[in-house]
């Protein structure tokens, strides 16, 4: 990897990771995990999220009601709540660790090994955050498909369909994994960082000046 490209790849990884983390937080609180269109009343669309169920009317109004009990939710929604919180927490930690490990950050220039470890840890946290965001979204999508094609349910009963939050969650997981991959790829470079070169030159000049002073004495 070229020396000049390494900071750019790191910044790209941070941008993708930050975007994925924001989308993951957005997915957690959006009520559009499932959509239900009623053929008897096409003016209303019911939506369901991890926290509440809403009804959207054609006039533009929306009324939502929070779920009364966590234990009363279906298993996929209960587990999805937990996993999305874990994903958001891991993503936040990944931003903190990888941020301190960036080459463009002047903090810790003399501790390059520590910066590399923090960058590696941040990339791994982004990987785990992306996976824990994709799993609940895919689980809810799988259960929705199973219920949609369940032959034991009469045809007149309305079926739940994919909501917009599922697609946002998939995009969030992809961005987090891509961001972590880009950050970890920069660690494969064996090029010497510009800051390290400047430090080495400065130390060499100090040693030369010290030797000249001793020789004069």
* Tens of pLDDT, residues 108-150: 666 778 888 888 999 999 999 999 999 999 999 999 898 888 7
State the chain's mean pLDDT as an integer: 82
* CA gap 1, 103 in Å, rounded: 14
User: What phi, psi does 48 have (nearest 5°)?
Assistant: -140, 135
* CA gap 188, 99 in Å, rounded: 18
pLDDT at position 167: 96
Residue 205 — pLDDT band, cuts 50, 70, 90? low
Structure tokens of 105? 């950050």
The answer to whether residue 193 scores a pLDDT higher than 50 is no
Q: Is the CA virtual torsion 73, 61, 46, 88 positive or negative?
A: negative
Question: Can you tell me the mean pLDDT for 4-33?
Answer: 91
* CA gap 30, 204 in Å, rounded: 57
- Residue reference for tokens 């007149």: 156
Per residue in 142-179, pLDDT (tens digit) is 998 988 887 777 767 778 889 999 999 999 999 999 99
Residue 20 — pLDDT band, cuts 50, 70, 90? very high
Contact of 54 with 64, CB cutoff 8 Å: yes
The answer to whether residue 14 scores a pLDDT higher than 90 is yes
Q: pTM of the entire structure?
A: 0.79
Burial class (CB in 10 A: 0-12, 13-18, 19+), 59: exposed
């Amino acid at each position: 990897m070229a020396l000049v490209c390494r900071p750019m790849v790191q910044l790209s990884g941070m941008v993708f990771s930050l975007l994925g983390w924001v989308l993951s937080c957005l997915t957690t609180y959006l009520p559009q995990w499932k959509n239900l269109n009623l053929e008897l009343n096409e003016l209303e669309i019911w939506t369901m999220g991890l926290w509440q169920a809403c009804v959207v009317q054609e006039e533009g109004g929306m009324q939502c009601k929070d779920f009364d009990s966590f234990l009363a939710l279906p298993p996929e929604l209960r587990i999805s709540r937990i996993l999305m919180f874990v994903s958001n927490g891991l993503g936040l930690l990944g931003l903190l660790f990888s941020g301190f490990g960036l080459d463009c950050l002047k903090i810790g220039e003399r501790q390059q090994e520590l910066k590399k470890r923090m960058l590696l840890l941040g990339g791994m946290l982004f990987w785990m955050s992306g996976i824990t965001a994709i799993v609940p979204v895919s689980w809810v999508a799988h259960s929705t498909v199973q219920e949609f094609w369940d032959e034991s349910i009469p045809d007149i009963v309305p079926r739940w369909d994919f909501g917009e939050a599922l697609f946002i969650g998939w995009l969030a997981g992809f961005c987090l994994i891509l961001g972590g991959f880009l950050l970890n790829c920069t660690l494969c470079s064996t090029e010497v960082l510009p800051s390290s070169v400047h430090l080495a030159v400065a130390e060499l000049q100090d040693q030369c000046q010290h030797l000249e002073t001793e020789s004069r004495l």
